[in-house]
Amino acid sequence: MRIAFFSTKKYDQDSFSSLVKDYGFQIDFLEAKLDHQSAMLAQGHDVVCAFVNDQIDSKTLEILSKEGVKLIALRCAGYNQVDLEKAKELGIRIVRVPAYSPEAVAEHTFALILTLSRKTHKAYNRVRESNFSLEGLTGFNIFQKTVGVIGTGAIGRAFCKIALGFGCKVLAFDVMENAEMKKIGVQYCSLDKLFAHSQIISLHCPLTPDTHHIINKKAMEKMKDGTMLINTSRGALIDTKAVISALKKGKVGFLGIDVYEQEEDLFFQNLSEQILKDDQISRLMTFPNVLITGHQAFLTKEALHQIAFTTLENIAAFASDSELVNEVKA
């Protein structure tokens, strides 16, 4: 079983190489991002392993099919980057890693909240320059704040538990309410009520046609002035143009994002010697109350191990013609 592994980073190669010897597969690690221009690199491979920002559209899938690829193993939870209807038509099966370390993402989400609330990133830079002044570093307590959580899947539930541990009141919105969350004190409510009553709002829902730009101008108009907005899920959950306007008006008081709706040409690469051509993220980086990380919420040793293990197990199930428990279907 030969696997063409696209969008390879060193941490990917390390985590997969440590486990693949137990499966007998051959992995060819490729730095190229998967799209219609690079898909021909999959020639001679049975399986393609792809990541969250690879472009697995109709054109890419047609090329992969011609090269004989029968399985695409996503080493991520999200699959909105895949044209599932076209994959079905071509007979290419899709598997994913539905949960790898919910706590990794949930903990990073709270790291963004704490950094914004206590300005530790600014304090760090000051002290390195022997500036020990506290002026401008006044923060606020997380204790007893009302936190709104949109989406209570595995990551959302892990985040709720952390928020409760901080002594927060937790409101949640999800089309499927979770009995465990209710039992520990999470209060489910309408989206409008969540917007109106939350001081901190964290997004943990998947990106679907229904959730695309779930945070838009109308949604933010319903929020309290100065609301903290956090997104570690999918970039396109937030209308970037609208959130820039809300930041300028003070409607959004703090913004912490680990994802961005136009991140495909930015994240996972070093652009420090280049001029950014994306005007919206450039504008976001000028705000003192905005914190951006480059899609690193998943990046822990534990999560990388689980991603590699589940991905290889998915491929092994395909190779042995067993049930694909993590298959994604149109």
Which of 75, 108, 204, 234 is flagged as catalytic?
234
Locate all alpha helices (DSSP H) within 91-168, ordered by sequence.
102-118, 120-128, 154-165
Place of tokens 């309410």: 177
Which of 93, 108, 157, 295 is flagged as catalytic?
295
Strands, sheet with 227-231, edge to edge from the N-terminal-most edge strand: 187-188, 169-173, 146-150, 200-203, 227-231, 252-257, 290-292
What are residue 231's DSSP bridge partners? 203, 257
**Tokens matching residue 4:** 């063409």
Clarify whether 295 is annotated catalytic. yes
* Residue 154, CB-side half-sphere exposure with 13 Å CA sphere: 10
Which of 263, 264, 273, 313 is flagged as catalytic?
263
Clarify whether 93 is annotated catalytic. no
Clarify whether 234 is annotated catalytic. yes
Round to whole Å and give the CA distance between 159 and 56: 30
Q: Kindly report the number of other CB atoms within 10 A of residue 249's CB atom.
A: 11
The torsion region of residue 82 among left (phi > 0), alpha (psi -120 to 50) and beta comes to beta
Phi, psi (deg, nearest 5) at residue 60 = -65, -45
Angle between helix axes 120-128 and 102-118 (nearest 10 degrees) is 70
Show which residues are catalytic: 234, 263, 295
